[in-house]
Amino acid sequence: MKRAEAQARAEVKNANAHYLYAYAAGRYSQRISVVKALSQGYGGKIRAALEAALKLQPKHADAHIAMGAYHAEIIDKVGALVGGLTYGANAKEGEKHFRRALELAPDSPIARIEMANGLVMMHGRRMVEEAGRLYAEAAKMEPRDAMESLDVEAARAELA
């Protein structure tokens, strides 16, 4: 996370550097608990890094996935009202980013998996059927690399 942050500062026009910082900080935040991470200011830092990445490269599919996940995680952990007022989290915006990621990367299993998880985090049980459909689509995909193989296997395991 610190190396990605240093790279983003050194290469301010490198969209992927901003994305990688946001990704690392987001995963770290999940590890220590999202609520603790928010109290340490990571929410604003992650959002700012993702906004920078998307400003520099609007077609960065992974940054759209991460921005959708940002909205979902905030809403899931602190609620829509507090999440919206304090962190700018909004379910409609989260869904918009997930859908944009699918447009940009239609063959991405992780885009479907993250969207499925995010929809349930933002909307609860009423999205379980839609999440299942997205997982089923991911499980049927042909992986293009080792990482996608792990994603497809995770989708299959979730369905089993």
pLDDT at 34 over 90: no
Of 92 and 33, the structure prediction assigns the larger pLDDT to 92
- Report which of 31, 30, 66 is spatially closest to residue 48, judged by C-alpha positions: 66
What's the confidence (pLDDT) of residue 160? 92
**One domain for residues 32 and 99:** yes
What's the confidence (pLDDT) of residue 154? 97
Per the prediction, the chain carries an average pLDDT of 96
Task: Give mean pLDDT, residues 94-107.
Answer: 98
**One domain for residues 48 and 118:** no
**One domain for residues 78 and 132:** no
pLDDT at 14 over 80: yes
Confidence class of residue 38 from pLDDT cuts 50, 70 and 90?
Answer: confident
Domain boundary among 105, 128, 147: 105
**One domain for residues 139 and 79:** no
Q: What is the pLDDT of residues 48-66, one digit of tens each?
A: 999 999 999 999 999 999 9
Spatial CB neighbours of 8, under 8 Å, sequence gap ≥ 6: 14, 17, 18, 20, 21, 49, 52
Report DSSP letters for 123-153, one per residue: HGGGGHHHHHHHHHHHHTS--SSHHHHHHHH
Domain that includes residue 52, residue range: 1-105
Report DSSP letters for 46-101, one per residue: HHHHHHHHHHH-TT-HHHHHHHHHHHHHHHHHH-HHHHHHHH---HHHHHHHHHHH
Spatial CB neighbours of 118, under 8 Å, sequence gap ≥ 6: 68, 69, 71, 72, 94, 95, 98
**One domain for residues 54 and 132:** no
What's the confidence (pLDDT) of residue 70? 96
Q: Under a CB-based contact definition with an 8 Å cutoff, are residues 112 and 137 in contact?
A: yes
**One domain for residues 15 and 61:** yes
What's the confidence (pLDDT) of residue 90? 96
Question: Residue 5's domain is classified under what CATH number?
Answer: 1.25.40
Q: What is the pLDDT of residues 19-31, one digit of tens each?
A: 999 999 999 998 9
Count up the domains in the chain and report the number.
2
List the structure tokens of 108: 């991405």
Record the pTM.
0.94
